[in-house]
Structure 1
Amino acid sequence: MSSTETEKVKPWGYLTIATTAQASTSFVSLGVASLIPFLMHPLQMTAADAGLAGGAVNTGMMALALPAGYLTDRYGEKPVMVAGCVLTGLTVMTAAWMRAFPALYTVLLFTGFWAGSVTPAGSKLVMNWFGSQKLGFAQSVRQTGVTLGGLLAALVLPVLALGTNWHTAFLVSGFPGVLAGGLVALAYRAPRGARTDSLRRPPAAGWRVVLQTLSDRDVWLTCSVGTVFVGGQFVLLSYLQLFLHSRLLWPAQTTGHFLALTILAGTIGRIFWGTFSDRTLGGRRQPALVVAGLLTAVSSLAMLLVGAATPLPAVAALTFVLGFAGLGWNGVYITLLSELGATRGKAATAVGVGVSLMQLGVLALPPLFGLLIDETHNYKDSWLLLTVFIACGVLMACAVRERRRKGPAIPGAS
C-alpha cells in the first residue's frame, strides 16, 4: 500500500479506535440498566431508585466532562482517552463488592466521573481527522460505540447475572475499559500540529474560551435539547424492561431481548441520522435533531396503547422506533456541538459543556418517571410526562442556529 493510500485509510482506523473506546465505557454506563432487574430485590430498590441507578454513571459524567474537554483541547485527545477508559474500568469493578444501594450508587457516580472524559476526547479525534462532508457520518459511527457497548452489555451481563450473580457481572464489566485504554495507548497517533495552538495559549486564555463557550446562545440551546433528549433516553433504558414485565408479565429474559432490540435500533439510527444530515440535509444537523425528537415523542405517546392484548410484533416495532429515534440522535448532537465550538477552535470544550449539562436530564427525568410510577402504580402519567418533555426539546431544537466549517481541523486529514 502506498503512503497516499495509507494516509487515506488512517482516519478510518483511528475512528475504529475511538468507537471501541466509546463502546468500552458505554458497556458500563448502559450495562447498569440491563442489571436493574437483578438489583431491585437484593438492594431493596424502589422504582425511583431504579431511575437513579440507570443514570448514575451518566450523572457522574457531569463532574469531569467539561474539564476533560478543556484538557483535550490543550494537551490532546490521547492521554485523556487512555486515562478515562482505564479508570472507568477499574472503578466499576469495585461495585462488585457493594452490598447496599447508597454504596453502589456512589461507586457508579465515581465511575461516571472518569467515563465523562471519553466523549469530548473521541469527538476531538474525529474533528482532527474528518472534514465537514464526512463529519456527521464519522461522529455518528463513533457514537454507535455507545449503543454497541450497550447492546453487548444487554446480551452478556444479564446472562452472567443469571448464571452467577450481579456481583460477577459488575466485575466483568470493567475489563473492556482497561483493554480499550491499552489499545488507544498503543495504536493511536495524533496528527502533527493538532495541539500547537492550544499549547501556545496560556491557561488563563483557555479558561476565557471556556467561559465564552458557556455564554454562547446556540451552545446553550443545543445543550438544553441534549439534556431533555438524554433524559428520555435513560427513561427508556431504565424502565423498558420493568414496563414490559409489569404491563405484559413477560419474564426477565424476554424483556432483556427487547432492551437489546431497542439498543440495536439505536445503533442503526445513529448511522442513519448522521448520513441523513451529511447527504440529504447537506451538512445541516438541526433538522435531523428535530425529526428524531418528533419520532421519539410520538412513539412515547404510543406506549400508552401497549397492553396485554398487544401483539408481540407490534410491541417489537414500537420499541424499535423508540430506539431508532430516541437512542439514535446523539451523533448528530455531538457533531452540532463540535461545529459550534470549532468556530472558536474549541470543539472538545463545547462537547465537554454539552456532555456535562446533558447529564442533568439523566439526573432528573428517570427518577421523576419512576416517582410517578411509585405514586400512581401505573405508567400512564409517566409516558405522558416523557412525551411533553421531548416535545419541549423539539421546540428548543427549532431555535438553534448552525455554524459550519468546511475542512478538517488538521490540514491533510480526510
Structure 2
Amino acid sequence: SQWIKKDQDSSFQFKDEPISLTHLADSLKLVLDNPLLRRLSVLSIIYKGLQMSVLAYMVVFLTDMKFSLVFAGLALAVSNFGAIFGRIFWGALADKIHSSRVVLAICGILMGIFTVVLSFTQADWPKFVVLIVSFLLGINSLGWSGVFFAQIAAAAPHGKVAEATGGVDFFSFVGAIFVPMAFGFLGHHLGEFTTGFWIVSAVTMLCAAYLLLVKDIQPSS
C-alpha cells in the first residue's frame, strides 16, 4: 500500500495498490539513477559489513583470546549498549554542525580505529579496558545508522523517501550478508581474525575519507 495525503491537517489514508516485482525494481532503479543515493548505497555495504562482522565475530574472537564465554558475551552487550548513546550523540552532532556527511565520515574513521584496537586485544588486558573498547566501538560501528537514514531522506527525490530508503537498505543487507561471510572465510583459512578486522577497518576508513572530499547531500529542490 502507499500513503497519500488527504488534506491540509496532515492526516493520511491508505491507497490500495498491490505490491509487485515492478515496485521492487523501481526502488532499485531510483537508487541506481541517483548519484547521491548510489554513494550512500556503497557506504551502507561497507559500514554495515563492518558492523555485522563485529557483531558476528566479537564473541568468537574474545574467546580465542582466552576470555571466558560469559565475559565475551558481556563485551558484546556493552557494545550494543554503546549504540544507544551513539545514535543520540551522532544525531545531535549532525544537527549542530549541519553536516550529516561529515558525521558519517567521522563515524567511519572511528569505527575503523576501534576495530583495529579490538584486534590487538590480548588475554592479559584488564577486562575493564576491553569493555571500554567494546563500548566505544559500539558507539560508532552500531550508532551510525540514525544519521545515515537522515541522509537518505535528504538525498531522496520529493515524495520518494520510502522507495529510496528501501532501495538503499537493500544494499546494506548485501553488506550485512556477504562481508561477514568473507570475513569468516578469511579467518578460517588464516587461522585468526586479526587480519580480517584490519581489512574491513581499512576499507571503512577509506570510504570515510572519501566522504570528507565530497559535497554535502542536500534535499532535492
Match of 2:39 in 1: 221
CA offsets per residue over residues 95-152 of structure 1, 9 Å max, x none? xxxxxxxxxxxxxxxxxxxxxxxxxxxxxxxxx9xxxxxxxxxxxxxxxxxxxxxxxx
Higher relative contact order (CA closer than 8 Å, sequence separation 6+):
2
Percent of residue pairs bearing the same amino acid type:
19
Where does structure 1 lack aligned partners over 5 or more consecutive residues?
A: 1-70, 78-127, 129-190, 407-414
- 2:149 is matched with which residue: 324, 328, 334? 334
Asked if residue 362 in structure 1 is aligned to residue 176 in structure 2, the reply is yes
Change (3 A) 1:211 1:228: same
Q: State how 1:40-79 maps to structure 2 within 5 Å.
A: 71=1, 75-76=2-3
* 1:249 CA displacement: 3.1
Alpha-carbon distance between aligned partners in 1 of 2:56 and 2:23, rounded to the nearest angstrom: 41
Match of 1:275 in 2: 92
CA offsets per residue over residues 60-102 of structure 1, 9 Å max, x none? xxxxxxxxxxx5xxx139xxxxxxxxxxxxxxxxxxxxxxxxx
Alpha-carbon distance between aligned partners in 2 of 1:206 and 1:235, rounded to the nearest angstrom: 27
Where does structure 2 lack aligned partners over 5 or more consecutive residues?
A: none
Asked if residue 390 in structure 1 is aligned to residue 204 in structure 2, the reply is yes
Which is richer in helix? 1
CA offsets per residue over residues 332-365 of structure 1, 9 Å max, x none? 1111001211x33100111001110111111221
- RMSD (CA atoms): 2.8
Report runs of 4+ in structure 1 exceeding 3 Å deviation.
193-196, 204-210
Match of 2:75 in 1: 258
- What amino acid sits opposite 1:276 in the alignment? L
Asked if residue 350 in structure 1 is aligned to residue 167 in structure 2, the reply is no
TM-score scaled by length of structure 2:
0.86
Change (3 A) 1:354 1:400: farther
- Please tell me whether Structure 1 or Structure 2 has the larger radius of gyration of its CA atoms: 1
TM-score scaled by length of structure 1:
0.47
CA offsets per residue over residues 286-340 of structure 1, 9 Å max, x none? 1110011110111112123210121111111111111000000001111100121
Alpha-carbon distance between aligned partners in 2 of 1:363 and 1:353, rounded to the nearest angstrom: 16
* 1:400 CA displacement: 5.5
Q: State how 1:193-342 maps to structure 2 within 5 Å.
A: 193=12, 211-250=29-68, 252-278=69-95, 280-282=96-98, 284-341=99-156
Alpha-carbon distance between aligned partners in 2 of 1:244 and 1:273, rounded to the nearest angstrom: 28
Alpha-carbon distance between aligned partners in 2 of 1:299 and 1:270, rounded to the nearest angstrom: 17
Match of 1:379 in 2: 193
1:76 partner SS: strand
